[in-house]
Chains A and B, each alone.
Chain A
């Protein structure tokens, strides 16, 4: 039931991302699923994570019209990345909560740019380096914007989760 709720929430985030952001054409687009995946990676079990990330990744791949498997593999790598980070940091620690989003967003950008540059360069290393440099300059403001929005969303999920737990204990 909780898993179904998370899948529906992912679907809602995708609709918000595709329709509501189009009302603000001067704001760069932002992947709202990423902070949600980070939140789930900290709080939910591995089997639920695989299911939610697979379904939301598949929907994102289908909706974005990009490469099949881009979001599918990106979200699973994000989960792996965050799960690995939780081996070294205590997940409820605020320091972890502050650094995890910039690190994950950087990882996501790097992953997507490598995939895209690999395609554009046709496998030529020199070309790949040139395009990567160009892209890093172009996408730096987008990166900053993504970190801000994702951090806000991640903290929102954390606060809602803490309140839920408090409410459950009081009850």
Chain B
């Protein structure tokens, strides 16, 4: 019994060391995890979509039925009055908001010369450090890797993995993301990189460049991926250390990435993978 217990303890320590080595190796060579992620997307995304649809229905029932019934119990007359006159029901509000979002996307679609595919976000990332979302369009809809994803408000991210009906989008707030950009006011160039939370930072900006809080950062188009002139974010803080050549600029993204629902995937005229 004791021998068996000791053996399991030894195996446990070997497993700890082995997994830590895997983490160390994949941080040096991130390509190792890509095929695993793609396989997981095929298996997990349909289940996530089913759950998403189920929860949507339940959410609709809660909003449109349970809350209305409980309100009716409190005050029947007031409920009727609110429903008919002063307060539109949640379905109406939802339709109005969706209409507004889709109008924005349509307006944006007209302004872009390239083809675009509209998609819906069906799941968010499970980890709070990496920032990705899954959309319900994939290879079958003409989407490929490295295709830019945008909304009416601005840049959302980049498609990183694609299967038949789903794709994973790397948001611009993810630490692995980078977008060539410049300050709209004076064309100061830099690279927008994700820095976790809901923020990005404009990197490689020389210390003597004039960057102020409130400046708009837009995509330069020089990376060959994102269309030129798309809003990325607004400068929220500027860090200038006592030493060093560069300054660090914190950006608040224009697109509300924590609540993004409808997006457009831009289908480039040339394959962006040719740039790499």
Contact = CB atoms under 8 A, between A and B. Distances in A.
Contact of A73 (B23, B37, B39): B23
23 contacts: A18-B126, A19-B55, A23-B59, A25-B258, A28-B128, A29-B127, A31-B128, A46-B12, A59-B44, A60-B127, A62-B39, A65-B170, A67-B26, A67-B130, A68-B26, A72-B19, A73-B22, A76-B15, A115-B27, A116-B129, A120-B175, A139-B128, A139-B196
A19 B51 contact: yes
Nearest to B197: A138
B8 interface: yes
Given A19-B123, A29-B127, A68-B32, A50 B12 contact: yes
Interface residues of A, number: 52
A15 B43 CA distance: 12
A138 B196 contact: yes
Interface in B119-170: 121-130, 132, 160-161, 168, 170
Nearest to A80: B16
B40 interface: yes
A50 to B, nearest CB: 6
A62 B37 contact: yes
A62 B132 CA distance: 12
Interface string A58-92: 11111111111111110011001000000000000
Please give me the 7 A-B residue pairs with the lowest Cβ-Cβ distance, nearest first. Answer: A62-B40, A68-B33, A69-B23, A69-B22, A25-B259, A66-B130, A64-B127
Nearest to A116: B129
B127 A69 contact: no
B129 A66 contact: yes
A63 B126 contact: yes
A95 interface: no
Interface of B: 8-9, 11-12, 15-16, 19-20, 22-27, 30, 32-33, 36-37, 39-41, 44, 47-48, 51-52, 55, 59, 121-130, 132, 160-161, 168, 170, 175, 195-197, 199, 256, 258-259
Interface string A14-35: 1101111111011011110000
A112 B11 contact: no
A69 B25 contact: yes
A142 interface: yes
Contacts of A54: 15, 19
Nearest to B34: A68
A134 interface: yes
Given A25-B258, A46-B9, A139 B197 contact: yes
A119 interface: yes
A65 B51 contact: no
A21 B128 CA distance: 12
B26 A69 contact: yes
A135 interface: yes
Contacts of A18: 48, 123-126
Given A60-B127, A80-B12, 4 more contacts: A15-B44, A50-B11, A63-B126, A77-B20
